[in-house]
Amino acid sequence: MELKLKLSAQDEAFRREVRAFVEENLPADIRRRVETGKRLRREDFVTWQKILHARGWIAPHWPAAYGGSGMSPMRRFILNEELAAAPTPRIVPFGLAMVAPVIMAFGSDEQKARYLPRILASDDWWCQGYSEPGSGSDLASLKTRAVRDGDHYVVNGQKTWTTYAQYADMMFCLVRTRTDGKPQEGISFLLIDMKSPGITVRPITTIDGGREINDVFLDDVRVPVANLVGKENEGWTYAKFLLGHERTTTAEVGRSRRWLRAVEDMARSERDGGQPLIDDPEFRSKLVAVDLDLAALEALVLRVLGEQGQGQAPGAEASILKTRGTEIQQALTQLMFEAVGPYALPHIPEALDDGWNEEPVGPEHAAAAAPLYFNWRKASIYGGSTEIQKNIIAKLVLGL
């Protein structure tokens, strides 16, 4: 059923090379946790990223001057999609795909020399300090304040929905350095050491039982002025630049294709007293619709990669990729929920913890169906809500 991109002989050979590399180098315990939907540990992500770094494949989008691979847009697409389609941990984007491009474009030489090699080697784990209570989609209303005190800023405020803050060594953070004028004109972009005195991380338990997001409280945190990226009060420009990169990475065609195959496998299992769900015409039509949507999304990803390869920054395409990518991901988790049927109802969060050895309810894949569905409801919010993205598209494409 799956629609596939036709590749040149050279690119097809590269695809086989990536698949062989994953097969030979992905640790078996990490593979098992990904395949069974278990929660991953910090060391799982870091171990895999260091394996990719040793191969030279951790940052295919980085310029060669900073340690990137110098891959063509098509090779980058193949690598990213093959890694996502295989049972590998997701590449944590906050350092490699989000703050690193900002540092490259706007950071000082000292910041580039200090942070980029450690990001590349996965020696530092980064988190994103953007959203606040009351300042999510309306990010310009943020209130976390940074006041200059000699060669430091003193930062006070709260960030929320901060993914993996409990693991983070560093946070890139939007702070208010001026209160007069337009809200967007008083924001600065700081790099904050998470071990600084005055930082408290409090987990937020999500509806699926996970604890990947957090509140972060900053009380009189002293941050060196040297950690200011670019110019004071111009952080909004850098924030928009970063969000463009974040939104282009949320399409994740490869991951969605892996989920599509998983849904098909689940639907082929015979149900109690009935035929496999895959034989139901209505369910099959839903699968075909998602497959077609994925093919269209893949074409747009390739177009954006091609434009980025020519030095063009993503425009409205970034919002389209973010919107359609997350809508497809949510549709697939819904189909997975349907394919599992009543076995998804006894949601047991502990079943996703490695080492949980109670008798599963239904097939092994059933335990992850409900948590995956619940967790991915947030996909249409982070990186800018779907409603905000549609407004951006209307403005940039339709001129409304």
Which active-site residues does the annotation give? 246
- List of long-range contacts for 23-31, beta carbons under 8 Å, 24+ apart: 25/51, 25/55, 26/51, 26/86, 26/87, 26/88, 30/88, 30/89, 31/87, 31/88
Q: Which residues, 6 or more positions from 389, have their beta carbon under 8 angstroms from its beta carbon?
A: 247, 319, 320, 322, 323
CB 187 within 8 A of CB 176: yes
Strand residue runs (E) in the chain: 126-129, 145-149, 152-159, 170-176, 187-193, 199-204, 213-224, 228-229
Question: What sign does the CA torsion over 294, 28, 43, 165 have?
Answer: positive
Q: Which tokens is 68 given?
A: 């990137």
β-bridge pairing 126-129 and 170-176:
parallel
Residue among 39, 2, 137 nearest 349 (CA): 39
d(CA 50, CA 93): 14
Taking each continuous run of H as one helix and of E as one strand, the counts in the chain are 13, 8
